[in-house]
Structure 1
Amino acid sequence: MFTRNFQYPAPVQAGDKVAILSPSSGLPEIFPDVYELGLQRLRDLFGLQPVEYPTTRKMHSRPEDRARDIHAAFRDPEIKALIASIGGDDQLKVLKYLDPELIRANPKPFFGYSDNTNLHNYLWNLGIVSYHGGSILVHFGRGGSMHPDTVTSLKQALFTRGEYELKPALHWTDEPGDWRDPEFVRKEPHMFPGEGWTWHNAGEVIEGTTWGGNLEILDWNMRANRYIQPVESYAGSIFYIETSEEMPSALEVYRILMCMGERGLLKQFPAVIVGRPKAWDHNQPFTAEQKARYYQEQRDAILQAFHEYNPAATIVFNVDFGHTDPQLILPNGGKARIDGVQKRIFVTY
């Protein structure tokens, strides 16, 4: 079912209905206040009408039921886009229930990250551009207010089509508030000053089609060996990766990339965009020193893997997408331009 002819679905317009789905975890059932805050911001800041489905607020839904809701959202002509409520850890089991022809016949923008990398990869194989980023609970429902960089990027990806420049955040965090805190919705998270991006092998301008997502989920896709295409299918693509709140060790990151390298995958990518790694979690509250060590060790692991399998690749580190805040939106299957001369990144929504 693979095609390299990518199609950008039509953008949404103010007043449109958008599907709010839980293709992974049904956490809106457990954190309804945060979820409702996210829905209200979708209405107030974006002018969109959220439409829920039977599994949207239901934990532990069967994979086939989640697939049914995905089908319903793609099939309904009144629904103009799909947004995931949150990620999870078992969306891979949903894919076998999806009807590729139904989805291909009704292309629509899909927004999500983390475990939603599974659906992004599935859509990539169908030739449909999707959008890595955005979730109702995490980004729309952010404590205090939505990060302005996230709002700007989301609005561009939702409502426009054309080239957009990604820029380093002036302030960022990987220490979100606690959803269990009754004061969460009023508290802004603790922010850190931005330090810009780090470039490796900069010096040329590279253009290509994006492919990637959360590194751990891409690893699962490779292990399942059902949704990864022959390596030559990715030739010339711009690879983008980020790691989750589970904070995989540098050794694990290296081993995942090593296996991709042995498969012949890493040498297909002339450029790589690496998301700022999340190095703090409520279950692992790293100190500043531990964070700095984690960042450096992950960077070294990525550099080592590419030194072995694709030493000429341009790599940009600490780009603001993935599991940190703010979250810039990356088109999956869309166009990107990595300008290593001026050290700028452009994507096409």
Structure 2
Amino acid sequence: MHTYPTKPRPGDRVAVLSPAAALPAIFPGPFELGLERLRDDFGLVPVEYPTTRKFGASPAERAADVHAAFADPDIAAIVTSIGGADQIKVLPHLDADLLRANPKPFFGLSDNTNLHVFLWNLGIVSYYGGTVMTALGRGGSMNPHTTESLRAALFTHDEYELRPAAEYTDVDREWTEPATLATEPPMLPAGGWTWHGPATTVTGPAWGGCLEIVDWNLRAGRWIRSPEAYDGSVLLLETSEEMPRAQDVYRVLSGMGERGMLQRFAAVLVGRPKCWALDNRNTPEQKTAYAEAQRDAFRTALDEYHPGVPVVFDVDFGHTDPQLVVPIGGQVTVDPTARRITVRY
């Protein structure tokens, strides 16, 4: 059983950390815009720490900021600036007893999957999504789908129904161009969710995050628990702008299967794949083919190692826009008959 931390209220101070990469030092525009919305739209007081804008800070320095934020009784929640590429190196520096004694809502995605894994092991519910530079710092205005989900996750413990987005985007824009922050991103038809497997309703705690970071943790083995620890949980996986090949997605899942871990999950939610990146500008046809190959990789691995598990594809959490928040360790209900997914924040 995971513990839900006490939620902040408008007027509270929240820590803004960069435990992954301090990209606010390089791209201040979306970061400042996100902080402004955190203050003006959500009524919270952002508090930066020494490494929030210190690019290249050591893992020990970043861990010290995590400790300070969790230990400070005047900090009501922790929101990350963005992801990164080496947060797994921060985990050995963390004081598990300090974090366990001071549970707080933690928001982040991508490389922050590492901290979600760490907090899950401590029995603390955390929140996948809500980063300052992407969700809050979106050009033009926040996506209303994101805003509604983030507000519910920040301030309530209510049940919340995740809904398929009517439109989405996975096309990045250059943060150095003024128009990126001033204008709305062009959106594309979303196409809804795809359901696979039996009409079996499942309720359980969520576990997972970014597939590439889950893979890193599986290889290290240090923060992955024994397979039975995941019994009845709902597996969440989504892929990043690295755009892993379908065969690599299959290998990660089959590795989980050979470990005896994949079979323990009661349902699987797969995020809408990011099919375009600044250094991989796929055509619409290439994007369609990439997304379908990734779904095939999931279906193949799950049919092989865990036949009969309910699966939902193209759920709007992770690296695409909108960015719905999902509680890691929190309760998720997957109802294939009603085609509904609800979470408890």
TM-score, reference length from structure 2:
0.99
Question: Which amino acid in the other structure matches residue 174 of structure 2?
Answer: D
Q: Equivalent of 1:287, from 283, 288, 295?
A: 283
* Maintained 8 Å contact 1:270/1:312: no
Q: Which residue number in structure 1 is paired with residue 4 of structure 2?
A: 8
Identical-pair percentage: 57
Q: Which residue number in structure 2 is paired with residue 168 of structure 1?
A: 164
Listed one character per residue, the Cα deviations across residues 176-205 of structure 1 (whole Å, up to 9, x for unaligned) are 321011222112111012211000014121
Q: Which residue number in structure 2 is paired with residue 257 of structure 1?
A: 253
Matched, 1:215 2:214: no
Q: 1:323 deviation in Å? A: 0.3
> SS state of the match for residue 183, structure 1?
helix
Q: 1:200-239, aligned counterparts within 5 Å?
A: 200-239=196-235
Q: Which residue number in structure 2 is paired with residue 30 of structure 1?
A: 26
* Maintained 8 Å contact 1:171/1:193: yes
Question: Which amino acid in the other structure matches residue 178 of structure 1?
Answer: E
* Maintained 8 Å contact 1:338/1:345: yes
Q: Which residue number in structure 2 is paired with residue 342 of structure 1?
A: 338
* Maintained 8 Å contact 2:120/2:328: yes
Query: Partners in 1 of 2:69 and 2:198 — Cα distance?
Result: 42
Listed one character per residue, the Cα deviations across residues 194-243 of structure 1 (whole Å, up to 9, x for unaligned) are 21100001412111111010011011111111100000000111101000
* Maintained 8 Å contact 2:198/2:308: no
Query: Partners in 1 of 2:234 and 2:226 — Cα distance?
Result: 16
Return structure 1 stretches of 4+ with deviation > 2 angstroms. none
Q: Which residue number in structure 1 is paired with residue 242 of structure 2?
A: 246
Matched, 1:271 2:279: no
Query: Partners in 2 of 1:40 and 1:17 — Cα distance?
Result: 14
Q: Which residue number in structure 2 is paired with residue 57 of structure 1?
A: 53
In structure 1, stretches of 5+ residues that fail to align are: none
Q: 1:46-125, aligned counterparts within 5 Å?
A: 46-125=42-121
Q: Which residue number in structure 2 is paired with residue 321 of structure 1?
A: 317
TM-score, reference length from structure 1:
0.98
Q: 1:46 deviation in Å? A: 0.3
Q: Equivalent of 2:37, from 41, 44, 62?
A: 41
Query: Partners in 1 of 2:278 and 2:223 — Cα distance?
Result: 33
Q: 1:32 deviation in Å? A: 1.1
In structure 2, stretches of 5+ residues that fail to align are: none
Query: Partners in 2 of 1:308 and 1:204 — Cα distance?
Result: 19
